[in-house]
Amino acid sequence: MRATIPRLVRVVQRSKLAAEYPTATVVRSLPEQAPSVKQPTLIDVLLKRKADMGAEYPSNIRIEPVLTKEAFEGVPADTRDELKELLKER
């Protein structure tokens, strides 16, 4: 079995550190990371562009919603597989 990182790390109180481990060095805490900005998905960008352009939006660009498991909730399993195959873009 491979050892995981939590198994290899041992947390020791600073007061006991000098007594038990005289040669050990204290690692300062890492600086806090800047909050990551969530980038909009391609579908979100295209839908916004379509809403902004209105009737001028090209009719040959088709934007379909993402289908989740809830969309196939009441469908029998054998039919569900066929539907998924039909919905895949080739």
pLDDT at residue 49 above 70?
A: yes
User: What pTM does this model have?
Assistant: 0.41
On the question of pLDDT at 83 being above 90, the answer is no
Please tell me which residue, 81 or 88, carries the higher pLDDT value.
81
HSE-up (13 A, CA, CB side) for residue 41: 6
Counting the structural domains of the chain, the total is 1
Query: Is the confidence at residue 1, as pLDDT, over 70?
Result: no
What's the Cα-to-Cα distance from 58 to each of 6, 12, 51, 53, 71, rounded to whole Å?
54, 64, 12, 9, 28
Does some domain include residue 48?
Answer: yes
Domain around 55: 39-90
Residue 17's pLDDT band (cuts 50, 70, 90): confident
The confidence score (pLDDT) of residue 56 equals: 92
Q: Could you give the percent of the chain with pLDDT greater than 90?
A: 12
- Reported confidence tier of residue 90, pLDDT bands at 50, 70, 90: low
The whole-number pLDDT of residue 38 equals: 85
